[in-house]
């Protein structure tokens, strides 16, 4: 039997993160202070982030060492497995070979801990005792809670109220790992109180939650703020995914013709694809890289590449990125992790330069693909990850038509154990086809 | 750094199951026909089980080959990892070394697919097109659905009504894998209709659900019945757990001083411990084996060793086992998988002969242990598995007092991603201390 899982030893886990900023053909445009339109200085970020992360955010070093204390936690689930999807290939009748990197094996169930562990560590090293963040569906909030738990730090999560009420179990996870979670807008911040007075019935938004978390970090001692996607250092932390995948596919003498990942803020796609994009930049290989987004939030496929705020309340620096406009509010699709108006500046840069292409799919066809995957491979995918599955299936079916034996690698960014209510809606035909 | 995970290659996955019946010092007493008090013949089981499983149930062959088609599916998640719980050891301050075998990595999230895959396979081979079963909390129902999905068979699950209503997400899993699930008592069987007429408000019980599933299998063409624990062939299928664990601990030159598993019907404990009990019987090693049960359902610690029915409706053969009486209805503890009045006849035999000892714990101290584990190792354990964690912590703390560097191996039979409502109750202090 050909093997199904490609496993690495702990000692094969990457010892450095890959910082693609060192290799970008077009230099990144800097974040700007909206008041002055001048590039943000490291000092201006100091109230929110520890020094080490600010340095990483602005670094152009190609490789940055992963501290042993972080690797010591990564190895609880890393290296994550690469699977050959034999059963999915068979069901599709495709000559393509389908591989997937499974990040759902982390305790929080997604790729998010790759950066939450790193961020909590650097905060702890600099004496920070408390971290604030926002979360939509709860993946990021639970991942940061897990990380703060490992380093004995307090964590406060502002969770978009509609999710707080509709997704009780990610909230339970946050509690289990010892963090505090409140529905946003909350009475705990000035901004939250203001919104609650003006709009008592609001269901909240990621923009409001970001503003609350930032205000909390800025006003409270020994407290910093943490972001789960978009920023350069977050993209870099996630590259352990692609670095491992390259080594794993080498072991079976494969190099992918195409690398596919779902894309919201961009950290999942960045993590898997950046080491492959390096090979493209270096002229060594030329894998196609596909970003898959929901039609309901088509940042790359329909957005504009311009400076915009990261939040609705205009509290963040201006970032040069693909954006739907910071006041854009996407429909309440079940892939909550992909509902962001903007896009990582690095991913935006690479997309503009043609290193990445993008596709978008509607909600129901994405769930169709998720069910096909669950019934062939067994694993229940997160709705976010199912976007990559949908694109993979399309690609594999094209190969069936052409007879090409291409090699596909896609990122299974997380499992869907906390998304079963969404599957229920799908089976009950209650899903809107956004 | 000492390694955290001990991983095996796919080709190190066991090729045979271990049948401890071949080695039992006291022979098993046979199941009896309650009408005649005579041992059950293979023919009497034929309406419910395929021939191959009846043969395994009655076999005294020491090793039985695992067909390639079954190993081909096992390898989607097997070999499962053994972890060294470095962080738990540190938090406890114990000199003991704690290892755990993680069966929660299966798509259904527990050890149950080790036997559901095998049972579905043998049914498929004999032309069975449809399998019925009962489920309480839903672990077994989802595992059998997964298995029938792989072999393109229909599956009907009778789910205890109270669980059907309270645990919607395991029901969703069953649907996702293409099976049908109805609340029991259901209008679909004669027995179900009778109960619904007599007790319209009943919340159902495992006993009623078993009776419905058996009636359905007996009356419908090409339909057989499947049981997820208790029976000899089920215990045998689970021995892949312990066979792998032995190989994994050998790789780090360890042999456990104690093997700990939670114990309801017995299949989890059997799977992990039988290969170690073989070494005891053979006089090669002498690991202590601890069965951990809830105080609310103390089958081994308080039950009697006698012939009893497997179900409340007295439809099954009589089994010689530890039992609390087939009319015993345990309190509604959150470890639904351990709420069974009886016990595997093999486990009962070994317990009576002193090869296994037993402990019981109350619900709240079990959840305390689960939270300690989640906060040290990250993984959210199932409430069932948390019984083994509680016992492990007690053992490790004893080692702290005596200074003994003992080696503990426990079975993490499943994750708790579908049990977050129970954790919520724990944190809200709404758990009764059964």
Residue numbers in A near B77 (CB within 8 A)? 378
pLDDT value of position B142: 97
With a cut of 50, list the residues of chain A below it in pLDDT. Answer: none
Report yes or no on A138 lying in a domain.
no
Between CA B393 and CA B368 the distance in angstroms is: 11
Reduced to 3 states (helix: H, G, I; strand: E, B; else coil), residue B174 is helix
pLDDT value of position B380: 98
pLDDT value of position A423: 95
CB B146 to CB A378 under 8 A?
yes
Between CA B16 and CA A278 the distance in angstroms is: 46
Residue of chain B whose Cα is closest to the Cα of A113: B378
Contact present, B313 and B208 (Cβ < 8 Å)? yes
Ramachandran area for residue B97 (φ above 0: left; ψ -120 to 50: alpha; else beta) = beta
For residue range A227-240, list pLDDT tens digits in order. 999 999 999 999 99
Q: Which helix (H) or strand (E) holds B261?
A: strand B258-262
Distance of CA B81 to the CA centre of its chain: 18
Bridge-based pairing state of the strands B154-160 and B180-184? parallel
Nearest CA distance, B66 vs chain A (angstrom): 14
Nearest CA distance, A84 vs chain B (angstrom): 9
Contact present, A381 and A373 (Cβ < 8 Å)? yes
- Chain B interface, best mutation among A13, A75, A76, by max B CB count within 10 A: A76
CB A378 to CB B5 under 8 A?
no
Residue numbers in A near B110 (CB within 8 A)? none
Between CA B415 and CA B434 the distance in angstroms is: 22
CB A380 to CB B1 under 8 A?
no
Report yes or no on B189 lying in a domain.
no
User: What is the side-by-side strand order in the sheet with B180-184?
Assistant: B180-184, B154-160, B130-135, B223-225
* Domain extent for A106: 5-13+67-110+233-427
Q: Say what percent of chain B tops pLDDT 90.
A: 88
Which residue in the set A75, A106, A418 is minimally distant from B4, CB to CB?
A75
Which residue in the set B109, B176, B417 is minimally distant from A374, CB to CB?
B176
CB A107 to CB B9 under 8 A?
no
Contact present, B25 and B283 (Cβ < 8 Å)? no
pLDDT value of position B330: 82
pLDDT value of position A328: 87
Ramachandran area for residue A253 (φ above 0: left; ψ -120 to 50: alpha; else beta) = left
Complex ipTM value: 0.95
Contact present, A384 and A412 (Cβ < 8 Å)? no
CB B172 to CB A7 under 8 A?
no
Residue numbers in A near B4 (CB within 8 A)? 10, 75-76
Between CA A65 and CA A405 the distance in angstroms is: 37
CB A423 to CB B172 under 8 A?
yes
- Residues facing A156 on adjacent strands: A132, A180
- Residues facing B318 on adjacent strands: B32, B309
Contact present, A231 and A119 (Cβ < 8 Å)? no
Residue of chain A whose Cα is closest to the Cα of B422: A172
Between CA B280 and CA B275 the distance in angstroms is: 9
Ramachandran area for residue B138 (φ above 0: left; ψ -120 to 50: alpha; else beta) = left
Tokens at residue B208, please?
């009623």
Residue numbers in A near B178 (CB within 8 A)? 375
CB B173 to CB A72 under 8 A?
no
Between CA B176 and CA B380 the distance in angstroms is: 23
Residue numbers in B near A150 (CB within 8 A)? 87, 378
Supply the CATH number for residue B237's domain: 3.40.50.1100
Residue numbers in B near A153 (CB within 8 A)? none
Report yes or no on A280 lying in a domain.
yes
- Residues facing A237 on adjacent strands: none
Residues in contact with B304: Cβ distance below 8 Å, sequence separation at least 6, in sequence order: B322, B323
Residue numbers in A near B415 (CB within 8 A)? 417
Residue of chain A whose Cα is closest to the Cα of B105: A105
Which has the closest alpha carbon to A319: A19, A23, A32, A16?
A32
Residues in contact with B263: Cβ distance below 8 Å, sequence separation at least 6, in sequence order: B269, B291, B292, B293, B299, B300, B338, B343, B347, B358, B387
- Digit-by-digit pLDDT tens for chain B (434 residues) are 578 899 999 999 999 999 999 999 999 999 999 999 999 999 999 999 999 999 999 999 999 999 999 999 999 999 999 999 999 999 999 999 999 999 999 999 999 999 999 999 999 999 999 999 999 889 999 999 999 999 999 999 999 998 888 778 999 999 999 999 999 999 999 999 999 999 998 888 888 899 999 999 999 999 999 999 999 999 999 999 999 999 999 999 999 999 999 999 999 999 999 999 999 999 999 999 999 999 999 999 999 999 999 987 788 999 999 999 998 888 888 888 898 899 999 999 999 999 999 999 999 999 999 999 999 999 999 999 999 999 999 999 999 999 999 999 999 999 999 999 999 999 999 998 88
CB B374 to CB A72 under 8 A?
no
Reduced to 3 states (helix: H, G, I; strand: E, B; else coil), residue B18 is strand
Which residue in the set A3, A9, A375 is minimally distant from B10, CB to CB?
A3
pLDDT value of position B165: 85
Residues in contact with A381: Cβ distance below 8 Å, sequence separation at least 6, in sequence order: A104, A370, A373, A374, A389, A412, A414, A415, A416
CB B172 to CB A421 under 8 A?
yes
Integer angstrom CA distances of residue A84 from A100, A253, A336, B106: 7, 13, 27, 16
Report yes or no on B161 lying in a domain.
no
Report yes or no on A220 lying in a domain.
no
- What is the number of structural domains in chain B? 1
Contact present, A133 and A227 (Cβ < 8 Å)? yes
Which residue in the set A68, A71, A417 is minimally distant from B417, CB to CB?
A417
CB count, 10 Å around CB of A302? 13
- Chain B interface, best mutation among A2, A176, A334, by max B CB count within 10 A: A176
Integer angstrom CA distances of residue B297 from A4, A105, B290, B341, B343: 40, 33, 16, 7, 11
Residue numbers in B near A377 (CB within 8 A)? 76, 107
- Chain B interface, best mutation among A378, A414, A419, A424, by max B CB count within 10 A: A378
Determine whether B201 is exposed, middle or buried from the number of CB atoms within 10 Å of its CB (0-12, 13-18, 19+): exposed
Nearest CA distance, A263 vs chain B (angstrom): 25
CB A107 to CB B380 under 8 A?
yes
Nearest CA distance, B17 vs chain A (angstrom): 19
CB B1 to CB A72 under 8 A?
yes
Report yes or no on A250 lying in a domain.
yes
Report yes or no on A22 lying in a domain.
no
CB count, 10 Å around CB of B110? 27
pLDDT value of position A433: 86
Residue of chain B whose Cα is closest to the Cα of A415: B107
Q: What is the pTM of this model?
A: 0.96
Residue numbers in A near B1 (CB within 8 A)? 10, 68, 71-72, 75
Backbone angles phi, psi at B288, to 5 degrees: -70, 140
CB A168 to CB B424 under 8 A?
yes
Between CA B217 and CA B227 the distance in angstroms is: 12
- Chain A interface, best mutation among B85, B152, B378, by max A CB count within 10 A: B378
- Chain A interface, best mutation among B172, B376, B381, by max A CB count within 10 A: B172
Residue length of chain B: 434
- Chain A interface, best mutation among B147, B167, B170, B176, by max A CB count within 10 A: B176
Contact present, B303 and B376 (Cβ < 8 Å)? no
Tokens at residue A373, please?
């995957």
- What is the per-residue DSSP string for B105-164? GSTTSBSTHHHHHHHHHHHHHTT--EEEEEESSSHHHHHHHHHHHHTT-EEEEEEEHHHH
Report yes or no on B174 lying in a domain.
no
Residue of chain A whose Cα is closest to the Cα of B179: A375
Residue of chain A whose Cα is closest to the Cα of B178: A375
Query: For the packed helices A168-176 and A139-150, what is the interaxial angle rounded to 10 degrees?
Result: 10
Nearest CA distance, A301 vs chain B (angstrom): 31
Q: Number of A to B CB contacts under 8 A, please give it.
A: 118
Which has the closest alpha carbon to A379: A353, A406, A354, A412?
A412
CB B1 to CB A105 under 8 A?
no
Contact present, A6 and A14 (Cβ < 8 Å)? no
Residue numbers in A near B75 (CB within 8 A)? 1, 3-5
Backbone angles phi, psi at A97, to 5 degrees: -100, 125
CB B3 to CB A176 under 8 A?
no
């Amino acid at each position: 039997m050909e093997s199904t899982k490609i496993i690495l030893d702990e000692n094969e886990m990457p010892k450095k993160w890959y910082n693609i900023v060192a290799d970008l053909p077009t230099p990144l445009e800097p974040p700007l202070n909206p008041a002055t339109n001048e590039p943000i200085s490291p000092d201006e970020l100091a109230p929110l982030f520890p020094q080490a992360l600010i340095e990483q955010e602005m670094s152009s070093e190609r490789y940055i060492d992963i501290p042993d204390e972080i690797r010591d936690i990564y190895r609880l689930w890393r290296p994550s497995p690469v699977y050959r999807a034999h059963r999915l290939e068979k069901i599709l009748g495709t000559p393509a070979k389908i591989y997937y990197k499974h990040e759902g094996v982390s305790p929080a169930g997604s790729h998010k801990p790759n950066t939450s562990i790193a961020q909590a560590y650097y905060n702890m090293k600099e004496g920070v005792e408390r971290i604030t963040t926002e979360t939509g569906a709860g993946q990021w909030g639970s991942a940061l809670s897990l990380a703060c738990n490992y380093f004995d730090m307090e964590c406060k999560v502002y969770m978009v109220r509609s999710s707080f009420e509709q997704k009780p179990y990610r909230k339970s996870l946050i509690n289990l790992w010892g963090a505090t979670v409140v529905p946003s807008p909350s009475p705990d911040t000035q901004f939250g109180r203001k919104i609650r007075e003006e709009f008592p019935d609001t269901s909240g938004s990621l923009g409001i939650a970001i503003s609350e978390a930032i205000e909390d970090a800025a006003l409270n001692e020994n407290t910093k703020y943490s972001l789960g996607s978009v920023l350069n250092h977050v993209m870099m932390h996630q590259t352990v995914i692609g670095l491992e995948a390259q080594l794993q596919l080498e072991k079976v003498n494969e190099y992918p013709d195409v690398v596919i990942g779902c894309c919201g803020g961009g950290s999942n796609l960045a993590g898997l694809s950046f080491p492959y994009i390096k090979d493209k930049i270096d002229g060594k290989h030329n894998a196609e890289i596909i970003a898959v987004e929901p039609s309901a939030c088509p940042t790359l496929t329909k957005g504009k590449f311009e400076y915009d705020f990261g939040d609705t309340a205009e509290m963040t620096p201006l970032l040069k990125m693909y954006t739907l406009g910071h006041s854009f509010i996407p429909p309440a699709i079940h892939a909550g992790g992909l509902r962001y108006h903007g896009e990582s500046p690095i991913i935006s840069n690479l997309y503009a330069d043609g290193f990445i292409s993008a596709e978008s799919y509607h909600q129901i066809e994405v769930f169709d693909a998720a069910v096909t995957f669950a019934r062939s491979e067994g694993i229940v995918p997160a709705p976010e990850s199912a976007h990559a599955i949908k694109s993979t299936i399309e690609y594999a079916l094209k190969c069936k038509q052409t007879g090409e034996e291409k090699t596909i690698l896609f990122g299974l960014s997380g499992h869907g154990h906390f998304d079963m209510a969404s599957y229920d809606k799908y089976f009950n035909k209650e899903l809107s086809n956004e």
